[in-house]
Amino acid sequence: MILVSRFLLRFYIPKHAIYVAMLTVSLASASSSAAVEVAGIEGEHGVGATKGCTPRCIGDTTDCTATVQYLDDFDDAIVVTEAWDEVHAFAGIVRVPTIGNLPIISVIGNAFCTSQGGACDSMTGANCILPCTIGSSESVVGGLPGLSGYGRVRFAQNEYVIQPEDVGSLADTVRFTWSDFCNSGESSCPQGELTTPAGSGTIVPECDDGALCTTDTCLAGVCSNIPDCTSNEECDDGDICTTEMCIDGCCTSEPTGNDFDGDGLVDICDPDIDNDGVVNDPDACDFTSVGSDVDATGRPLGDIDMDCDTDLDDYELFRQGFTGAALKLP
């Protein structure tokens, strides 16, 4: 929802009563994808301005347009001689462009601009530079062509590179320097500077959602937060030694199965499961107790009954061999 407040001021100069209306736009709630336009000043002397900006992302250049126009029905005209923008960046106010004027992108209605490098193309603004003369519909004051429709000149502001600290609403103020023909061209006619309010500008979203396992991107002022994974299958790296899982958008991995000898290699991927110095093939006993002395085949020393361990059964067989009792082997 856009809240609009309007107030009217009246003051006088010799021979001319001037009505000045200020239009202030505050953003109570607005779509992040909508451009916001604000109005400047309108009055008998025809000075008016609007500004609009589209949402952008950190690292983008701003994408704003500003229009200066003639707003009343008097047979009058104004001459605009300067147009620049002041971006209210986190680091301070930045003039855009650094020197010179904003580029003209169109000349509309009963207006004309100075040509440079060729004829001024009113549709695209090519070869058009300031000063520009802008007047009421069909007026010929100041050399106006007498075209139907209020005169307007539109400018682009797309040079400022948005910094990370500018997240939020990046305000800016467009400034125009103008003078008025005042119908009869009196020397006392007003001239001065017209500014658009700084209360609105470029919406720059903060796209970092703080999650460890999302890819945060911004395109045309719209955030996208994509998790690294949504299923276990997406995390599978083809390694049989580990089992991959997707947990809270993060791919995690844990060893597949047991690690008998505690050497950091799971048994399915350990070439010497019991770490006895004899590789599994031809190790006769793959799961010899860690630290056991083994023979060249990997069998524990003293394993008389050939069951891959040394225990009381082996001791009994050993004792019987020394006492003359028959030694029975499996």
3-class SS letters over the chain? CEEEEEEEEEEEECCEEEEEEEEEEEECCCCCCCCEEEECEECCCCCEEEEEECCCCCCCECCEEEEEECCCCCCCEEEEEEEEEEEEECCEEEEECCCCCCCEEEEECCEEEEECCCCCCCCCCCCEEEEEEEECCCCCHHHCCCCCCCCEEEEEECCCECCHHHCEEEEEEEEEEEEECCCCCCCCCCEEEEECCCCCEEEECCCCCCCCCEEEEEECCEEEEEECCCCHHHHCCCCCCEEEEEECCEEEEEECCCCCCCCCCCHHHCCCCCCCCCCCCCCCCCCCCCCCCECCCCCECCCCCCCCCCCHHHHHHHHHHHHCCCCCCC
0.95 exceeded by pTM: no
Residue 210 maps to a domain: no
Q: What is the pLDDT of residue 1?
A: 30
Q: What is the pLDDT of residue 293?
A: 86
Q: State the chain's mean pLDDT as an integer.
A: 80
Query: How many domains does the chain contain in total?
Result: 1
Q: What is the pLDDT of residue 42?
A: 45
CA distance 125 to 108: 10
For each successive 10 residues of the chain (330 residues), what is the average pLDDT? 30 30 28 38 62 94 93 81 95 96 97 97 97 92 92 96 94 89 59 71 92 94 95 91 92 87 84 84 84 84 82 78 57
Domain carrying residue 186: 2-204
Residue 215 maps to a domain: no
Residue 113 maps to a domain: yes
Residue 34 maps to a domain: yes
Residue 65 maps to a domain: yes
Residue 320 maps to a domain: no
Residue 321 maps to a domain: no
Both structure tokens of 197 = 């309010």
Residue 54 maps to a domain: yes
Q: What is the pLDDT of residue 38?
A: 41
